[in-house]
Structure formats: C-alpha cells, structure tokens
Amino acid sequence: MKSIKESIRLDKYLSNAKVGTRSEVKKYIKEGRVTVNGRVVDEPEFHVSPNDEITVDGEYVNSHRNVYIMLFKPSGFVSTTSEYEPSVLNLIDHPYVDELHIAGRLDKDVEGLLILTNDGDFTHRLISPKKHVEKEYYIYTKQPYKLTEEVKKEFEKGLEIDGEKFLPAKIGQIDEKTISITIIEGKYHQIKKMCQKIGIEWERIMRVRIGRLTLGGLKKGEWRELSKEEIDEIFER
C-alpha cells in the first residue's frame, strides 16, 4: 500500500499532466469521464499514487514528466519569449510549452537544431563546456573561401578575439562555399566572431548537430520529441 506522501489529489494529478486546468479537470471528473484502475471516480479530491492507471475518455494519462523537444529553427525567430518578435515557442504546439526553455540559444538570424526542455539539469549538462558536448555549425559563405592549415591550427589551439579567449575548436571545409565549425561552448555571437576573425563573410549559418543528434529529416519549423535513447546519445563521445 502506498504512503500518503506518495499520493496526490486526482484533480492535481490531471492538471499537472496537462490534461487541462484545475477547474477543467474537476469538471471532467464530475462528469464521470475519469477512471482509476478501471473504476470511474467522480471525486476531484480522490487520492491517486504513482502506480495507478488513470484514464480520461478512455485514454491513459501519464504523470507530469520531463520533456525534450528538437526543433529545426528557421531564421527570423528569437530563442526567447517575446511579445514583439516571432518566438520559437510559437512554433511548438505541445501541452508543456509553457514550461519549456531553450537549451542553448541561437541568434535570430541563425537557423538549425534547437533543443527545448523543462529539465534544468539536462540543460546545465548540455551547455557546460566541461561536458564537451559538440555543437556543429555550417557556415555558407558569400564568396568561395579556402581554408588553410594555419587557420585550422589557430582553431585547434583556441582563438583569442579582442581579448576574449575561446576553447579549442574544429574547423573543416565542406565545399568551396561551406565551412564547418564545431565548438563545445556557446559564448555570445561566438560563431560570428570566429568567422569575422578569419575573414569569412557569411550568408547563412545553421547548427546541424548537437552531440550525436542531427536534424535528420526535419524540415524548417518542424519539431518532435526526443526518445530516451536520443537524449542519452547526445552526451556520448
């Protein structure tokens, strides 16, 4: 038998699980639309515990959980909540959207892979340089750019730009107008500062990878939840 400490009111359980507001779920309960372990319960104050099976209109309801979402961020959207500019949060239709924060922001004019979550510990691990999670960007240049061995060595050593020091990074040539830069930190305008330092005029910047996670088949503006396996793989080297 579960202890009182592990139990929770049915209406609170359902509202925490984003089934509806507290007043909405009370209405569902009183209408007889909710079952607990196969039995209709019409009392909002009824206590349930973690192992109980709860349904609303025949659909099982999971308790409140951590959510991890990957989004192909288009250019023109800010990585914050804003009343004045289009926000990436406006692209996500998810019950937990009001809890989400961005784990590693992208500039408004930068596109690509973005992760949103309600798990603060995950975000700390993801953005901490100590965890060595790689973030790879493709830089599409306005003019053909020839990457030199000297520039590669500068990146491997760690650039210093206007007195600001950056950790060692990787740079590679994809084609004559596409450069790849991989970093493990995420300082303000870091990729743009690096491009400026080595004389790249960029036309478009896109983050294509975080850890082992890539955009896959996502199109601009599309999103999906990550599986536990994908979340774990982000931190694998």
Q: Which residues are the active-site residues?
A: 107
Judging by DSSP bridges, how do beta strands 111-117 and 68-73 pair with one another?
A: antiparallel
- Residue 169 buriedness (CB in 10 A; 0-12 / 13-18 / 19+): buried
Cα 71 from Cα 45, distance rounded (Å): 38
Which H or E run contains 114? strand 111-117
Cα 135 from Cα 127, distance rounded (Å): 10
Name residues whose C-beta falls within 8 Å of residue 161's C-beta, 6 or more positions apart in sequence: 193, 194, 196, 197
For 4-55, the DSSP string reads GGG-EEHHHHHHHTTSS-HHHHHHHHHTT-EEETTEE---TT-EE-TT--EE
Cα 92 from Cα 98, distance rounded (Å): 10
